[in-house]
Amino acid sequence: MRKLEFRSDTMTRPTTAMRQAMFEAEVGDDVCEEDPTVNKLQEMVAARLGKEAALFVPSGHFGNQCAIGVHTHPGDEVIVSEMTHVVEHEAGASGVLSGVQLRTIEPRHASYITADEIMPRLRIGEDVHFPRSRLIILENALSDGTVMPIAAMAEVKELASQHGLAVHLDGARLFNAALALDVEPRSIAAQSDSVSFCLSKGLGAPVGSVLCGTANFIDRARKRRKVMGGGMRQVGVLAAPGIIALTDGVRRLHEDHENARLLAKLLTRVPGVVLDLRKVQTNMVYIHVETQGKSEDGLVEFLAGRGILTYPPIMWGIRFVTSHEVTADDVRTLAAAIADYLES
């Protein structure tokens, strides 16, 4: 029986067109910048995001850590929301690889940190005790499936430039954010000095992320990528599906948002399900279960019994992620299964 995959958009498998493109890709040695397919991907991305240059990297994690390494020196301080991927899901890499201190902030007004919250945490002026505040990292879209408005990003960018800090955007789901905000991805990218996004999530490529910034930043990032062991040779075989991710993958991405909204709408009619419709902005739906004798762990187990895959609940509840692996019918099947569990 086919499993229904609601765990993550990282689970997406490459399409037939992507596999064909991998087979046919023209390749060369990318460490020597001679892979024509990688060069084409990087040029496409830089143009699309309105940045001078771009660099293909093995993962989103790698892109973030490469950016941190370029923007900082050991002992510098990086300001970041405590809920972000860099803090929660990168295995302490910023300490290990760049020797920086993360100054984490709990977002209080929204899912993201605001300029007002960052301002009092900046180390301004020379003091023998202080690390140097050097970098602010933002995420868009956010891990709870919501997005950060452009105006809020612009305020952070303004604050950073007043005080000589750089801004890096972890845009793993940048194209989802652009859809939700109804803007071009370049309008979001314009609010940061560097930005990375994943080709491998909702866009469907099997591997890879792209890091973008000024030509000078990308030259340094290429060196840093080498230091990190991320110089890859005939990697056009992976850039080729990335190019399809940027065309076909982006073109169909709205379907995932429509399916997430469909799921949320169906679940609002199921007694015992608690969800905040306003937070369903991209391809994720989080729910809590509030029915006597029923639990979130119990629901996850029940769904597994029906071949429906989800991760165990976290603080925000159980997460369901839509992707090209999931159809509107799958969403209806999921909603019906949740109703069955809560009524059983």
Residues of this chain that interact with ligand PLP (CB under 6 A) are: 10, 59-61, 85, 139, 143, 170, 172, 198, 200, 209
Which of the 8 DSSP states describes residue 110?
Answer: S
Distance of closest approach, residue 228 Cβ to ligand PLP, in angstroms: 13
- What whole-number distance in Å separates Cα of residue 32 and Cα of residue 38? 11
Name the residue whose CB lies closest to ligand PLP: 60
Distance of closest approach, residue 193 Cβ to ligand PLP, in angstroms: 17
Three-state SS for 209?
A: strand
Distance of closest approach, residue 6 Cβ to ligand PLP, in angstroms: 16
Which residue number, 35 or 139, has a Cβ lying nearer to ligand PLP? 139
Which of the 8 DSSP states describes residue 145?
Answer: S
- What whole-number distance in Å separates Cα of residue 50 and Cα of residue 317? 37
Which residue number, 137 or 237, has a Cβ lying nearer to ligand PLP? 137
Which residue number, 206 or 313, has a Cβ lying nearer to ligand PLP? 206
Distance of closest approach, residue 90 Cβ to ligand PLP, in angstroms: 8
Which residue number, 62 or 217, has a Cβ lying nearer to ligand PLP? 62
Number of H helices, E strands in the chain: 14, 12
Distance of closest approach, residue 148 Cβ to ligand PLP, in angstroms: 12
Which DSSP string do the residues of 161-199 spell out, in sequence order?
HHTT-EEEEE-TTHHHHHHHHTS-HHHHHTTSSEEEEES
Three-state SS for 309?
A: strand
Which residue number, 10 or 187, has a Cβ lying nearer to ligand PLP? 10
**Residue 54 · residue 40 · CB < 8 Å:** no
- What whole-number distance in Å separates Cα of residue 138 and Cα of residue 188? 11
Distance of closest approach, residue 141 Cβ to ligand PLP, in angstroms: 8
Which residue number, 122 or 170, has a Cβ lying nearer to ligand PLP? 170
- What whole-number distance in Å separates Cα of residue 42 and Cα of residue 164? 28
- What whole-number distance in Å separates Cα of residue 191 and Cα of residue 136? 12
